[in-house]
Amino acid sequence: NAGVMQNPRHLVRRRGQEARLRCSPMKGHSHVYWYRQLPEEGLKFMVYLQKENIIDESGMPKERFSAEFPKEGPSILRIQQVVRGDSAAYFCASSRLGLRTTDTQYFGPGTRLTVL
């Protein structure tokens, strides 16, 4: 049973380009969470999605950032017109049930985005 998959593992973009990060949850998991981790800082919640629905996007910047979790295929975190401050590790996690049920979430290996 494969764990949470994220790709690419490393992504380099120039300022103004788009970054597209992909996350495939564990088999049987329909809840996906995206976090951002800056150097020397903790994980910051960005967005929580279930299949085809955004449930909570309170941690995501209002501009340039968007997320989706289509019926088929991986969840996508999209960052348009990247700036240097977007450089960070982006982690995806998935769970079978929502976290209110205290279900365990499993993290992927992360995508390290570097903006030049």
- Binding-site ranges for other proteins (CB under 8 A): 4, 31, 33, 35, 40-45, 48, 55-56, 58-59, 91, 93, 98-100, 102, 104-110
45 or 64: CB nearest other proteins? 45
DSSP for residue 62: S
Residue 91 Cβ, how far from other proteins at the closest point, in Å?
A: 5
C-alpha R_g of the chain = 13
12 or 99: CB nearest other proteins? 99
3-state secondary structure of 34: strand
